[in-house]
């Protein structure tokens, strides 16, 4: 299997070989293949949840960065407006 197809395996719980060979639930009615399918589904859900959390955290970081940039620009704009008012006041006083 390719690496992409195996990516969910990191999210699997370890499966016991003892269960695979000797337990009755695994031997009867294809129990082991059913359990493998269930474990695979659980692992894929965990992987999707981790991916969503990672994306959510990145979005929060981006939003916080945008707000920080907005605050900095707002402060810069206020400083420029104050400087402009001071210059206009000096021009009026000179006239």
Q: Is residue 43 part of a domain?
A: yes
Using CA atoms, how far apart are residues 72 and 84, in angstroms rounded to an integer? Answer: 18
Contacts of residue 94, defined as CB under 8 A and 6 or more positions apart, other chains included, come to none
pTM of the predicted model over 0.95: no
Range of the domain at 67: 15-94
The structure tokens 């294809």 sit at: 30
Q: Is residue 7 part of a domain?
A: no
Number of folded domains that form the chain: 1
Q: Is residue 5 part of a domain?
A: no
Q: What is the pLDDT of residues 50-91, one digit of tens each?
A: 999 999 999 988 888 888 888 888 999 888 888 888 877 776
Using CA atoms, how far apart are residues 12 and 5, in angstroms rounded to an integer? Answer: 13
Q: Is residue 1 part of a domain?
A: no
Mean pLDDT of 14-26: 67
How many CA atoms lie less than 13 Å away from 21 in the CB half-sphere?
3
């Amino acid at each position: 299997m390719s690496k992409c197809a195996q990516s969910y395996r990191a999210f699997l719980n370890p499966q016991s070989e003892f269960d695979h060979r000797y337990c009755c639930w695994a031997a009867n009615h294809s129990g082991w293949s059913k359990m493998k399918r269930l474990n695979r589904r659980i692992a894929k859900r965990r992987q999707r949840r981790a991916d969503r959390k990672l994306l959510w955290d990145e979005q929060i970081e981006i939003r916080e960065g945008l707000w920080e940039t907005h605050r900095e620009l707002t402060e810069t704009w206020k400083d420029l407006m104050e400087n402009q008012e001071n210059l206009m006041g000096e021009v009026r006083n000179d006239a």
